[in-house]
Chain A
Amino acid sequence: MNAIISLSRRSFIIGVAASAGGLSLGFNVPFIKPARAEGSEAAPEINAWVVIRPDDTVVIRIARSEMGQGTLTGLAQLVAEELNCDWAKVTTEYPSPAQNLARDRVWGNFSTGGSRGIRESHEYVRIGGAVAREMLIAAAAAEWGVPASECTARMGMVTHAASDRATFYGQLAAAAARMTPPANVTLKDPKDWTIAGKPLPRLDTADKLNGSQVYGADLKLPNMLNAAIRACPYFGGKVESFDAAAVAAMPGVRTVVQVDETAVAIVADTWWRAKTALDALPIVWDEGPNRQVTSASIAAMLEEGLAANDAFIGAKQGDAGAALSAAGRTITATYAFPYQNHATMEPMNATALYTPERCEVWVPTQNGEASLAAAAEAAGLPVQQCEVHKIHLGGGFGRRGNFQDYVRQAVSIAKQVPGTPVKLMWSREEDMLHGAYHPTTRCRLTGALDADGNLTALHMRISGQSILAAVRPQGMQNGMDPVVFQGLVLSGTEGTLGYTVDNLLVDHAMRNPPIPPGFWRGVNLNQNALYVECFMDELAHAAGVDPLAFRRKLMAKHPKHLAVLEAVAERIGWDTPPAAGVHRGLAQIMGFGSYVAAAAEVSVTDGQLRIHRIVAATDPGHVVNPAQVERQVEGSFVYGLSACIYGECTVNGGRMEQENFDSYEVLRMAEMPDVETIILPSGGFWGGVGEPTIAVAAPAVLNAIFAATGKRIRTLPLKNHDLA
């Protein structure tokens, strides 16, 4: 089926993006009418997405950020597919956030999170490629004086077979740029793809092998100074005083500055000298109102919510309360999920150059437009006088999107040394102490089993922190945070519960401790999959039914959820016994628009866990690059198993206790199981890839640990439990 797409659709897409993006920082983004395309005659811009150089190099513009997830390559494949260009001649570039604003947001949303990079832009980038192709054909047809309908475009060349003429795109680009874009284009059926859908190597690998890839931390500008920063480690605290004179004469130090109310920075010739002076700087903190807050006090707050009367309802079917009261047999369990840090390998950083007329920022960012808004706000300048240069990210995982604290700090510092670029880089300790933490929630689940072992009622009471309430209150729905219910709702395309339970209630008692929460790769799907999938395992065992068979009975109306689950069960050999000493666990969930499942094989010997093998399956609807999907799925288990085994930030005295990788441990190579990925694209929808499979890592492994030991682990991380 080919989709005929009217170009007027694009204005709708951009309109939606604009209302969701620019306003989120309480900031009016003025739209300036576009100047004409910037491409010179030497390298004409066919349209916003495509620039073709005379040597036939095709430069594809990528609006979303590349942070390792492969989106840059995938988006380029989609444009190139419709452009019918030679993939070997493709290169990419980022348009800047200021250009996007100046051109009426022609590139749409820059935000790169929620596994949305491809699934929410595939259509308009393909249209961009198709329009450029038609303009190239039109240019060739005009030059030859033949009907465009008689010309074809293939491999970077337009051909008119009847007159045996052909010419390369590079020769046509200047004329094509002057053509009127077609009103309608027809997008290819994915089954006809030759560039998209193929396991092509990434476009950005070579520079990562020899040290030439420049990350934000590596940026060098003429006359640049370096800044190290320390913000008040107590949440809600601020700077009371500091003794700049004590370090002013230390080597390399240029100035000691306060940054907003909360932080002190030292600007020096090198970062090491700035950090050394900062370590010697006497700072007195106003510790603020949260000195009594501890992990235990937060746990008590959430425990209260588990039984509280007030709760927001995320999913409701039948009457769970009545059914549970009347049930002959109920099972109850309480699970808990701790705070966790993103811990990107590249600590937060940004470089700013401020003058009273202009502010420029260079930053590894998941959302260039949010960076631009933050820069303008911190600079106190109109957005038209600001620019953000997006730099490659050393990991993002949600930390570098919504939260632009490091941009505001960098601009605040640069304002105090106007005319000189300043690179601000956080130490790892700063990064650990000032996260936007994967929030803590707990869940009490109560299920009713009838005499035949069928689940007749289920109540999931989630208690805990809302991300939206803290960071994006405009996304709340009458006080409710819908994100808390990821993967547990009954309708929509983002992530529905894969089970039919006649009497179901999923509700949330919002309890917000004074710890800054954030979007963390997988977001609330990680907690929710742990709760529902471990509890399904508990119910199956209570009913004396095989965990796969128990789920199957509830999944008749959820064939796509079931298909990925069946796929991992089959591949791991669920119906045949595992090797001696090896035990298995299963989990499935839907999130970020995709259906995912995992099966794990583990052994536990003298309390030592070994994860031997993971089989994962994903149905993201369409697949743009199966090789990159495989890498994302494999990587998601490193992230998910790190969280399962080690991930925990504990609060004591109103601050985090973990400051570095020696106390905030993560998975390393020795513990990494084999991961086999099954990709089952069923078509008809576009789901995300970077996040959803993280969520099934922990429950699959914990269910396997139960099979191995009879121990039911209900609180993460595993390192706190004795498996012997």
Chain B
Amino acid sequence: MARLIINGTPRDIEVDPDTPLLWVIREQIGLTGTKYGCGVAACGACTIHIDGVATRSCVLPVSAVEPDQQITTIEGLSPDSSHPVQQAWLALDVPQCGYCQAGMIMAAAGLLMQNPNPADEDINAEITNICRCGTYNRVRAAIKLAAKAGEATQRG
């Protein structure tokens, strides 16, 4: 039995403690926005937040998550796609196939929490998710747009 707080809701789950958090989220909680891409933390499609920190969930055993830690998935980033990163993604029409985009958005939102105004080098270092369709340049532009929107919110 594991207790997890996912998108603000505590959940008690019957699970083998070695199960990667990704599969608990996808198959036991039933939130499929978080994707499987590689299973070796190489692609970032499984990125979620744990206490606000972008984390690859495909190699993280569920037993490594403390019962009081806050897990946020793409479904819980905002109730209505209103997070500045989601809004920037919409404004620039970033996704192509979209499969990697939940991970991209969660990685970007995590970056902006740590660094509200990232330089290109910061984006390069932190956003190492793989996109095969080729959205990288629009991802970069959308992160900058979201950063601007965040600045405006803080000033306002």
When distances are taken between beta carbons in the complex, the residues of chain B under 8 Å from A272 are 19-20, 23, 27
Q: Produce 1/0 per residue, B35-58, CB < 8 A to A.
A: 111111011010000000000000
Contacts A209-B86, A210-B77 given; does A668 touch B134 at CB 8 Å: no
Question: Contact at B27–A672, with CB atoms within 8 Å?
Answer: no
Q: Produce 1/0 per residue, A157-177, CB < 8 A to B.
A: 000000000000000000000
Alpha-carbon gap, A215 to B39, bound state (A)? 18
Q: Which residue of A lies closest to B74 (CB)?
A: A211
Question: Contact at A270–B28, with CB atoms within 8 Å?
Answer: yes
Is B127 interfacial (CB 8 A cutoff)? yes
Q: Produce 1/0 per residue, B94-112, CB < 8 A to A.
A: 1111111110010000000
Interface range, A side: 35 or more
Is A666 interfacial (CB 8 A cutoff)? yes
Question: Contact at A427–B39, with CB atoms within 8 Å?
Answer: yes
Contacts A661-B42, A669-B127 given; does A211 touch B34 at CB 8 Å: yes
Is B31 interfacial (CB 8 A cutoff)? yes
Is A114 interfacial (CB 8 A cutoff)? no
Contacts A345-B97, A638-B133 given; does A211 touch B32 at CB 8 Å: yes
Contacts A208-B101, A209-B86, A675-B137 given; does A271 touch B27 at CB 8 Å: yes
Alpha-carbon gap, A205 to B97, bound state (A)? 9
> Which listed residue (A69, A220, A394, A670) contacts B35, Cβ 8 A?
A394
Q: Which residue of B lies closest to A663 (CB)?
A: B42
Contacts A635-B133, A661-B42, A669-B127 given; does A209 touch B37 at CB 8 Å: no
Question: Contact at B130–A70, with CB atoms within 8 Å?
Answer: no
> Which listed residue (A67, A69, A217, A639) contacts B36, Cβ 8 A?
A217
> Which listed residue (B75, B128, B136) contacts A210, Cβ 8 A?
B75
Q: Produce 1/0 per residue, A658-674, CB < 8 A to B.
A: 00111000111110101
Question: Contact at B99–A215, with CB atoms within 8 Å?
Answer: yes
Chain B binding surface SS class? loop
Contacts A345-B37, A346-B35 given; does A68 touch B137 at CB 8 Å: no
Least distance between A613 CB and chain B CB atoms (Å): 11
When distances are taken between beta carbons in the complex, the residues of chain B under 8 Å from A212 are 33, 75
Is A631 interfacial (CB 8 A cutoff)? yes
Q: Which residue of A lies closest to B135 (CB)?
A: A635
When distances are taken between beta carbons in the complex, the residues of chain B under 8 Å from A210 are 33, 74-75, 77-78, 81, 86
When distances are taken between beta carbons in the complex, the residues of chain B under 8 Å from A220 are 30, 32
Question: Contact at A347–B36, with CB atoms within 8 Å?
Answer: yes
When distances are taken between beta carbons in the complex, the residues of chain A under 8 Å from B27 are 226, 270-272
Report the interface size for chain B: residues with CB under 8 A from the other chain: 58
Question: Contact at A69–B98, with CB atoms within 8 Å?
Answer: no
Least distance between B36 CB and chain A CB atoms (Å): 7
Is A92 interfacial (CB 8 A cutoff)? no
Q: Which residue of A lies closest to B34 (CB)?
A: A211
Is B73 interfacial (CB 8 A cutoff)? yes
Is B93 interfacial (CB 8 A cutoff)? yes
When distances are taken between beta carbons in the complex, the residues of chain B under 8 Å from A395 are 97, 99, 132-133
> Which listed residue (A201, A346, A636) contacts B93, Cβ 8 A?
A201
Least distance between B132 CB and chain A CB atoms (Å): 5
Least distance between A618 CB and chain B CB atoms (Å): 15
Chain A binding surface SS class? loop
Q: Which residue of A lies closest to B89 (CB)?
A: A209
Question: Contact at A214–B32, with CB atoms within 8 Å?
Answer: yes
Least distance between B24 CB and chain A CB atoms (Å): 8
Is A406 interfacial (CB 8 A cutoff)? no
Question: Contact at A660–B35, with CB atoms within 8 Å?
Answer: no
Question: Contact at B90–A218, with CB atoms within 8 Å?
Answer: no
When distances are taken between beta carbons in the complex, the residues of chain A under 8 Å from B133 are 68, 395, 635, 638
Is B3 interfacial (CB 8 A cutoff)? no
When distances are taken between beta carbons in the complex, the residues of chain A under 8 Å from B81 are 206, 209-210
Question: Contact at A346–B95, with CB atoms within 8 Å?
Answer: no
Question: Contact at A674–B32, with CB atoms within 8 Å?
Answer: no
Question: Contact at A666–B132, with CB atoms within 8 Å?
Answer: yes
Question: Contact at A205–B99, with CB atoms within 8 Å?
Answer: no
Q: Which residue of A lies closest to B94 (CB)?
A: A205
Q: Produce 1/0 per residue, A205-244, CB < 8 A to B.
A: 1111111111101101000001000000000000000000
When distances are taken between beta carbons in the complex, the residues of chain A under 8 Å from B35 are 215, 217, 345-346, 394
Question: Contact at B42–A394, with CB atoms within 8 Å?
Answer: no
Cβ < 8 Å to A, chain B residues 116-156: 123-125, 127-140
> Which listed residue (A347, A667, A670) contacts B124, Cβ 8 A?
A670
> Which listed residue (A346, A347, A397, A661) contacts B130, Cβ 8 A?
A661
Least distance between A133 CB and chain B CB atoms (Å): 28
Least distance between B89 CB and chain A CB atoms (Å): 5
Question: Contact at B97–A670, with CB atoms within 8 Å?
Answer: no
Least distance between B43 CB and chain A CB atoms (Å): 5
* CB-based closest 6 A-B pairs: A211-B33, A635-B134, A638-B134, A68-B97, A394-B99, A208-B98
Residue contacts A-B, CB under 8 angstroms, 20 given: A68-B96, A70-B96, A205-B89, A205-B90, A205-B94, A211-B73, A344-B99, A346-B97, A394-B97, A395-B97, A425-B36, A428-B38, A634-B137, A635-B135, A637-B134, A642-B132, A660-B39, A669-B124, A669-B128, A672-B136
16 new A-B contacts at CB < 8 Å, known A68-B95, A210-B81: A67-B97, A68-B97, A209-B81, A209-B105, A272-B23, A345-B35, A346-B99, A392-B97, A392-B98, A427-B39, A634-B138, A638-B131, A638-B135, A660-B40, A669-B124, A669-B127
